[in-house]
Structure 1
């Protein structure tokens, strides 16, 4: 009788032990999955920081003066011929591969704000493969702002490698300043950016 009770006790103990092992295994799998997701999130965050890094480190850098531009009337220029050292420019540069709806939102805000720029010339640089493509994708700008095609090379800034739309300010014909990556979901930031540049550079002598 005692032997039967002992056998039942051992059987129950083994059963409970097996259940505990199974629970531990399942919990371990869940932990591994959570770790995997967290790792993916870290990669995405790293990408965001990389974009911020290239934006910041594109300030106070010399633009490539030999960058080849083509206007809508098919005239060819070097960048140094477009940016005069005695004038101020705000360059909006974007890749043709970027979201069309996103560029449309950004372009509408730029057209609204350009009147407040006063002494700063706003120009659009479209980076793509052909004039035909630019005429279609830069349609929102061609009646309001000078538009140029950039297809031979980039400006030589770190931010060019990220393939994102951005603005940069030039007041000496050669140096990028106040570089800003543009987000179509943060248009108020764009407005404040353009207004601040106007107040800083156009009104300081008034």
Structure 2
């Protein structure tokens, strides 16, 4: 009888011990998961801050116009001979190590919206090791947007250190403006960016409705005079 009671007590103690072990394990898992989430969130916030910092500090910076670039036809020139102080340019610069599909998405969105940008010339600087590499990665690129290979050097902007694709605007031949990291997962933001540049710097052509409305207003003013 005593043995039965002892066995029952022992089993009960073992049961309680297993429950405590299980609860401790579950709490530990929750703690680890929570710590991991907080750590990842901190990393994401820190990464976002660094990107925003790079964008902001890459505006109003004199770009390096002395870097040598090469076109698809193997012609070498320096950037100074391409960018005129009398014209406006939107430069897409990206590293050859970046995701090919990602760049395709960015490039296609720029290509689609390029016509609305009017007088703003778009050009691509591909940071890579060889012309052959650039041809392979950009085999679907047509001639509507000029592409140049940049083997060495940078534009001299802080954002160059991020190793991410970015856009920067130049309207005086030397100073960067409106620098933006080109994110393939934020194509709507890219569209809004391009639209804003077009609205700010390009003269809008009047639509038929606007022409008729403006003509009507002019006629009305003449009659009232």
TM-score by length of 1: 0.83
Give ranges in structure 2 of 5+ residues lacking alignment: 1-5, 207-225
Where does residue 175 of structure 1 map in the other structure?
175
Where does residue 119 of structure 1 map in the other structure?
119
Q: For the Cα contact (< 8 Å) 1:124–1:148, is it kept in 2? A: yes
TM-superposed CA distance for 1:186, in Å, is 2.2
TM-superposed CA distance for 1:202, in Å, is 1.6
Deviation digits for residues 95-114 of structure 1 (CA, Å, limit 9, x no counterpart): 11111111111111111111
Where does residue 141 of structure 1 map in the other structure?
141
TM-superposed CA distance for 1:48, in Å, is 2.4
TM-superposed CA distance for 1:168, in Å, is 0.6
- Runs of 4+ in structure 1 displaced over 4 angstroms? 10-21
Q: Specify the SS of the correspondent of 2:58.
A: coil
Deviation digits for residues 13-57 of structure 1 (CA, Å, limit 9, x no counterpart): 988985786466335523431343131332233122212221222
CA distance in 1: counterparts of 2:146 and 2:15, whole angstroms: 77
Residue 26 (str. 1) matches residue 25 (str. 2) = yes
CA distance in 1: counterparts of 2:105 and 2:16, whole angstroms: 62
Where does residue 35 of structure 2 map in the other structure?
36
CA distance in 2: counterparts of 1:44 and 1:189, whole angstroms: 19
Larger CA deviation: 173-182 vs 48-57: 48-57
Residue 55 (str. 1) matches residue 55 (str. 2) = yes
Q: For the Cα contact (< 8 Å) 1:126–1:138, is it kept in 2? A: no
Where does residue 200 of structure 1 map in the other structure?
200
Q: Specify the SS of the correspondent of 2:176.
A: strand
Where does residue 72 of structure 1 map in the other structure?
72
CA RMSD, Structure 1 to Structure 2 (Å) = 2.8
TM-superposed CA distance for 1:76, in Å, is 1.6
CA distance in 1: counterparts of 2:102 and 2:11, whole angstroms: 65
CA distance in 2: counterparts of 1:87 and 1:136, whole angstroms: 31
Where does residue 4 of structure 1 map in the other structure?
none
TM-superposed CA distance for 1:140, in Å, is 3.4
Q: For the Cα contact (< 8 Å) 1:169–1:176, is it kept in 2? A: yes
Q: For the Cα contact (< 8 Å) 1:120–1:202, is it kept in 2? A: yes
CA distance in 1: counterparts of 2:141 and 2:196, whole angstroms: 22
CA distance in 2: counterparts of 1:13 and 1:168, whole angstroms: 71
Q: For the Cα contact (< 8 Å) 1:168–1:177, is it kept in 2? A: yes
TM-score by length of 2: 0.77
Where does residue 3 of structure 1 map in the other structure?
none
